[in-house]
Amino acid sequence: MSLFPKRRQAFSMPSGEEGASLKQEEITRARQMDLLTYLRRYEPEELVHFSGSTYCTRTHDSLKISNGMWYWWSRGIGGRSALDYLIKVKGLEFRQAVEILAGAPQPSVAERMERQKKKTVQWIQLPPRHADNRRVFAYLSRRGIDPEIIRCCIKSGLLYEEARHHNCVFLGFDGQTPKYAMLRGTHSGSTFVGEVPGSDKRFSFAFPRLQKQSSALWVFESAVDALSFLTMEKEKGKEWETISCLSLGGIARMTEGKLPGALERYVKEHRQIKEIHLCLDNDPPGRKAARWLREQLADYMVVDAPPVRGKDYNDFLQMQKGIWGQVKMRGEARG
């Protein structure tokens, strides 16, 4: 499968005052710089090698760069040049972006980005809700998750069914305000996983929504794994409602020297946490991430707790119930 869609948004030249003060050679020079060159020259800390000749950025792990082009999958926008990137992703005005790339005297890139952030308020764009949650309920049940736990998530506002594609929508909150939403396809054979535009990973899915004063936290890569773990704890007779779980929304953004945003925010807001269980996937990336996190969390009692069987906790749950292999795992096809 190609890294980029067949159709890409075309870049349009500005008109009127927006480009009036710029020389044509400055615009031409700015449009000649590709994004990979720009990041290496101006923002090397943002550049992350993904695989082969493909790169992504630390801030946006769904923004892929390859063969002189880039595409931001979570937003559905892309381009060829660094100029496209500065305008479409960074939100700069055309003139400002050209000045950066043409090397005109100016404030630093970081200063311009900070000014732009102060002017821009980003709101999460939640998809409309379906009239009921039957497909979400059926899908998660097929994956072995306990019906009572599913109902609890729906009732507390952590989960609902999207109207158009019937995807699961797992929500994360800042107080009463939704700040994060992860989508997961529910159609038969679907492996679609994605984030809603405007999602802030610092507020990823956490259970229960109203956190209790627990001194222990269980950390997972996905919300489905967290609910799978709660199902197994319930089957053991444990008080699953009191167990604090956090989904990182994946581990692609994990960088040395900084905790994942969701985990960093959670432990700062819940000072009572003393013990952290790392329930990350039982694959090379998950094991590497767990080892690195143990080093960063030296002030806590850290327990490395990957699933005993299978790649992740939902695999483990399905194996315990004898239903493993009946539900297709996640991937890149859309639901």
pLDDT in tens, 295-330: 999 999 999 999 999 999 999 999 999 998 776 554
Burial of 308 (0-12, 13-18, 19+ CB in 10 A): exposed
pLDDT in tens, 242-257: 999 999 998 876 655 5
pLDDT of residue 257: 58
183-200 in b/e burial notation, b at 16+ Cβ within 10 A? bbbbbeebbbbbbbbbbb
pLDDT tens digits for range 51-76: 778 888 888 888 999 888 899 988 88
**Residue 211 pLDDT class (50, 70, 90 cuts):** low
pLDDT band at 41 (very low <50, low <70, confident <90, very high): confident
Q: Give 153-199 pLDDT, tens digit per residue.
A: 999 999 999 999 999 999 999 988 999 999 999 987 778 888 988 89
Pairing label, strands 177-184, 168-174: antiparallel
> Angle at CA 169, nearest 5°, toward 270 and 207?
25
Nearest to 220 by CA among 281, 152, 146: 281
What pLDDT digit, counting tens, does each position of 75-125 carry? 888 998 899 999 998 888 888 888 888 764 444 555 555 555 544 445 688
What DSSP character marks residue 1?
-
Q: Does position 32 have pLDDT exceeding 70, yes or no? A: yes
- C-alpha to C-alpha distance for 160 and 29, rounded to whole angstroms: 48
- The predicted-structure confidence for 252-291, as pLDDT tens digits, reads as follows 766 555 789 999 999 999 999 999 999 999 999 999 999 9
Nearest residue to 205 via CA among 165, 240, 174: 174
